Structure 1
């Protein structure tokens, strides 16, 4: 088993999904997005999984809603931080 291939943090997917909704890739360059991703994920707890289907099947809707709200809040805070502190 290779941890990098078999196990990942579910919050990474949620962050990526929310970035797509916000069209982050259309507004910022790759370096900014990489830094933004780190700032966002460092605010969130980890939730390691092996398969996406496990989360879809076992995660209660209320917990999924809470996780999505945490992601939105973390992204909002990170964008404020990054836009005021990021240098090229």
Structure 2
């Protein structure tokens, strides 16, 4: 059984946000992966097959709320990673 379409909606949205966030430019992949994990751990699971199907039935206020929640979680995750930086190997 193939289920590659099922994914956490927040993951897709977060990856888009990360690509445009200036605070993450030039950061190592370890740093960004830590930020991704800490961000997603703050958010509820929201599994969908197709993103467009999820947003097609959401009210605009719900979409804005998801974006706001995601941005707040990302900011908090960046603070956490910055507070406890990795030591180089």
Q: How many residues align?
A: 86
Give the equivalent residue in structure 2 for 1:19: 18
Higher helix share: 1
Shift of 1:53: 1.8
For structure 1, the 5+ residue unaligned runs are none
Q: Deviations over 1:26-83 (max 9, x none)?
A: 2311011111100000000111000122023112111000000111100111111100
**Equivalent residue for 2:32?**
33
Q: For residues 82 and 34 of structure 1, what CA distance do their matches in structure 2 show?
A: 10
For 1:64, the equivalent position in structure 2 comes to 63
| Structure 2, unpaired ranges of 5+ | none
Answering whether residue 36 of structure 2 is matched by residue 2 of structure 1, we say no
CA-atom RMSD in angstroms: 1.3
What's the TM-score, normalizing by structure 1?
Answer: 0.88
